[in-house]
A and B are shown apart, each in its own frame.
Chain A
C-alpha cells in the first residue's frame, strides 16, 4: 500500500495541556508517530483520549491561550511546526495540509455562499485569480460527486443536506491540493448509509490524488475500511501501533483487545454486549503507571507504578504494555473474533 516510504509528517513525544478552571488537563502525554506519503493512518480511541487534540496540534489549531504544546516536536516535510510563527503556520494550513471536521452542519459558515468558502483558499493562500479559483472549485465539487456544480456555487449551506455538506467540506479541504488531510471523525455526524458513501469518496480521492490522511475515529468499522496503519490511543498516549492486520488480527495490548471485543457482531450468536468496565483515568492527575491498569484484567503490580515502555512486536508493530516485557508471562490472545 505504501506508495513512497519517505516521511511526510513526524510527531515526536508530543505533550499538550489545557488550563481550565479545574486545573491543568494533560490531554496528550507523549505521542509519537509518523505519516508517509499517500498512506492512511487511523487514530482510534474512546472519547477524551486525546485523539482530536493531537490532530489540532498537528494543524496548529490548539485554542490559545488555554491550550499549549508543552513538549515535543511536529515536523512537516522536515519543517518544525511547534516553534513556527503564526504567519509561517498559515502558509502551510489549508495549502499543504488541511482538515475535515466532525460536524458538517456547523463547519460551514451559514452566511457565505459555498462558492465563496470554496474559492477563498485559492484566492488568499495561493494568490490565484478569481476565475481560476472558480474553475477549480467547480472541478472539486464534481470530484466529490455534487451535480449542478455551477448552480451549487451560489447556494448557502442551509440549502444542502448533511451528507452533501460533508462533501463540500471535503472539496474545501482538497482544493489547494494538500499533501496531508486530517479528518477528525468525518463520518460520526452522518447517517450510516451516508457514512459508507463518504468513506468510499475518501478512497476514490486518495487513489486519484495520492494525498496522505490521518483518520481520527472511534469507529473500528471505519478503520477496517480505510486504514493502512492504525494507532490506538488511551488517556493521551498511543498504546499500540501497527498495520491494520497487526491491530485486527494480532492485537497485543489488553486495551486494543478489549476494544475489538466490544464490537457488536450481529453475525455471532452472542446476545450480550461486552463493554470495557470502568472509565478512563482523570487527566487532571494522570496516573503514575499504565493508564489502563485500573481497567485491565491482567494488571500486575509493576503496571500501577511504572509506565510501560514501548516495545516492538513486529516490523511496524509497537505496543506499550508490560506484558511485552521478556520478564512477564505472555498473555493469552483474548480476542476470539476475526
Chain B
C-alpha cells in the first residue's frame, strides 16, 4: 500500500509538471500582454518596460519558464498583475472555499440521487419508475447546465419568486446552482447504476443470497450495490472534473464569488500569475480526486490489490 502511494505520488508530480509546461506554453502563445490595457489605463512605453522587468516578462522564455517552475514549486505565485494589492494565494483562499462548497454539494447530490434513481430503475426494470427515471436521465444528459441554470432562474426566481436569483449567502442561494450543476452527472450515474445493477442482479451470488432468505433490501444494499458501484467509481474522476469546470460557468450565471470568476478573467487579461496559480491548483485537486478513486476501487473490490499492478 505504501509503495503504491509513493509511486502514485511520483506520477502525480510528473503529471503536474506536464500540465505546468503546457499551461506555460499556451499562456505565452496567446497574443497580447497583460499591460496592453491595465485597468482601463493606457500606459507609456517606459512604464510598460518597468512593469515587464518587475514581472520578469522581458527575459527570454526559457528563463521565464524556470522562474515559473520555481514559483510553482514554492507555492509563491506572487501578486496578481491586475490587482497588485492581492497575491494569487489571497484570491485562491477567498474564492476556493466557495467553489469547493458548490462543487462538493453538487457532486454529493449527483452521486446520491443518481445511485438511488438507478437502483429504483433497475429494480422496477421496464416498469413505470424505470421509464420515468430514464426519461429524467436522458433529459439531464441532453440539457447543458447553463441552459438549465437560466431556465431555473426564469422559473423559480423570476416567475415564482421562490428562490434568490444569485449570489452566495446561505442554503436557499445554493439550491439552484447545485441543481443546475448536479443534474448532468446525476443522469450519467443513474444510467450507469441501472445497467450495472441489472447485470449484478442476475449473478449467481444474488441467487445464493435469496436462498438464504435475506430481505430484498439487504440483498440490494449489501450484496448488489457494492458490485454495481464499480463502474460509477470509474467515471467519478471525470465527473468531478466536469463539475469543477462547470462551476466556472455556473458561478458566472449566479454571480457566485468563487474561483471561476478569477479563472476566466485572468485568461482574458493575460494575468499570468493568476492563470498559473488557478490552473495548478485545479490540476492538483483533480489529480488528487483520481487518486481517491483508485483507493476506492481497492475498497470496493478486494481483488484489485494496491501496489501489485506490476506483478
Binding site for B on A (CB under 8 A): 59, 61, 89-95, 98-99, 101, 103, 106-112, 120-121, 124-125, 156, 158, 169, 172
Q: Which residues of A contact B207 (CB under 8 A)?
A: 61, 101, 107
Q: Give me 11 A-to-B residue pairs in the complex whose CB atoms sit less than 8 angstroms apart, sorted by A's number.
A: A95-B213, A98-B212, A101-B211, A107-B205, A109-B227, A110-B302, A112-B222, A121-B213, A125-B212, A158-B303, A169-B208
Once A103-B204, A106-B203, A106-B205 are accepted as A-B contacts, the answer to whether A111 and B300 lie under 8 Å apart by CB is yes
* A213 nearest CB across to chain B (Å): 15
- CB pair B211–A61 under 8 Å, yes or no, is yes
6 shortest interchain CB distances as A-B pairs: A93-B213, A94-B212, A106-B204, A94-B213, A90-B213, A109-B205
Contact A156 B303 (CB under 8 A): yes
Q: What per-residue 1/0 map shows which CB atoms of B270-309 lie under 8 Å from chain A?
A: 0000000000000000000000000000001111000000
Partner among B203, B204, B210, B223 whose Cβ is within 8 Å of the Cβ of A93: B210
The listed residue with most B CB atoms (<10 A of its CB), out of A59, A110, A111, is A111
Closest to B216 in A: A86
Bound: A116/B209 CA distance, A: 12
Of B210, B213, B222, B303, the residue contacting A91 (CB under 8 A) is B213
Q: How far apart are B206's CB and chain A's nearest CB, in angstroms?
A: 8
Least Cβ distance of B282 to chain A in Å?
Answer: 33
Judging by beta carbons under 8 Å apart, are B215 and A124 in contact?
yes
B223:A109 contact, CB within 8 angstroms: yes
User: Which residue of chain A lies nearest to B300 when distances are taken between CB atoms in the complex?
Assistant: A111
CB distance from B165 to the nearest CB of A (A): 46
B214 at the A interface (CB under 8 A): yes
* A111-B301, A158-B302 known; A120-B212 Cβ under 8 A: yes
Are the CB atoms of B204 and A111 closer together than 8 Å? no
Q: How far is the CA of A125 from the CA of B210 in the complex (A)?
A: 12
* Other 5 A-B pairs with CB < 8 A, given A110-B227, A125-B213, A156-B302: A93-B212, A101-B207, A111-B300, A156-B303, A158-B303
CA distance A145 to B204 in the complex (A): 24
Within the assembled complex, what's the spacing in Å between the Cα atoms of A194 and B226?
31
Least CB separation from A104: chain B residue = B204
Partner of A107, one of B208, B215, B301: B208
Q: Which of B204, B213, B215, B226 contacts A112 (CB 8 A)?
A: B226
Cα-based distance from A59 to B211 in the complex (angstroms): 7
Please report the C-alpha to C-alpha distance between residue A69 and residue B247 in the assembled complex, in whole angstroms.
55
- Give the complex CA separation of A59 and B209 in angstroms: 12
Residue of A nearest to B205 (CB): A109
For A124, the chain B residues whose CB sits under 8 A away are 214-215, 218
Distance between B228 CB and nearest chain A CB, rounded to angstroms: 10
Write out the residue numbers on chain A whose beta carbons fall within 8 Å of the beta carbon of B223: 109, 112
Closest to B223 in A: A109
Contact of A110 with B213 at beta-carbon distance under 8 Å, contacts A124-B218, A158-B302 already known: no
Of A98, A110, A125, the residue contacting B205 (CB under 8 A) is A110
B 218-232 binary contact with A (CB < 8 Å = 1; else 0): 100011001100000
Q: Which residues of A contact B227 (CB under 8 A)?
A: 109-111
User: Which A residue sits closest to B212, measured CB to CB?
Assistant: A94
Q: Do residues A120 and B211 form an inter-chain contact, with CB atoms below 8 A?
A: no
A61 and B210 within 8 A (CB): yes
Nearest chain-B residue to A105 (Cβ)?
B204
Given A109-B223, A110-B301, A156-B303, also A99-B211 (CB < 8 A): yes
- B222 — which chain A residues lie within 8 A by C-beta? 112, 120
Report the Cα distance A173→B64, complex, angstroms: 71
CA distance A89 to B211 in the complex (A): 10
CA–CA, A294 and B223, complex, Å = 46
A106 to B223, alpha carbons, bound, how many Å? 13
Q: A103-B204, A110-B227, A111-B300 are in contact. Are A172 and B212 (CB under 8 A)?
A: yes
Residue of B at shortest CB range from A116?
Answer: B222
Which residues of chain B are near A90, meaning CB under 8 Å? 213-215
Given A61-B207, A101-B207, A106-B205, A111–B226 Cβ distance below 8 Å? yes
Query: Could you say which of B213, B215, B227, B300 has the most chain A C-beta atoms within 10 Å of its C-beta?
Result: B213
Q: Which of A61, A90, A92 has the most CB of B within 10 A?
A: A90
Given known contacts A106-B203, A111-B226, A112-B223, A98 and B301 CB-to-CB distance under 8 angstroms: no
Cβ–Cβ contact B212 & A121, under 8 A: yes
Do A111 and B213 touch (CB < 8 A)? no
Question: Which chain B residues lie closer than 8 Å to A156 at the CB level?
Answer: 302-303
* B209-A109 in contact (CB<8A): yes
| Contact B204–A101 (Cβ < 8 Å) | yes
Q: How far is the CB of B106 from chain A (nearest CB, A)?
A: 28
Complex: how many Å from CA A44 to CA B144?
A: 60
> How long is the Cα–Cα vector from A145 to B209 in the complex, in angstroms?
23
Instruction: Flag if A93 contacts B303 (CB, 8 Å).
Output: no
* A107-B204 contact given A112-B223, A156-B302, A158-B303, CB 8 Å threshold: yes
Closest A residue to B229 by beta carbon equals: A111
With A and B bound together, what is the CA distance between A93 and B213 in angstroms?
5
Q: Give every chain A residue within 8 A of B218 (Cβ-Cβ).
A: 120, 124
Closest B residue to A169 by beta carbon equals B208
Residues of B within 8 A of A89 (CB): 213
Residues of A contacting B214 with CB < 8 Å? 90, 94, 120, 124-125
Instruction: Write the nearest CB–CB distance from B153 to chain A, whole angstroms.
Output: 43
Most buried by B among A89, A95, A103, A107: A107
Question: With a CB–CB cut-off of 8 A, which chain B residues contact A59?
Answer: 211
Contacts of A106 in B (CB 8 A): 203-205
Docked pose: A90 CA to B226 CA in angstroms: 23
Shortest distance between the CB of A103 and any CB in chain B (Å): 6
Contacts of B208 in A (CB 8 A): 99, 101, 107-109, 169, 172
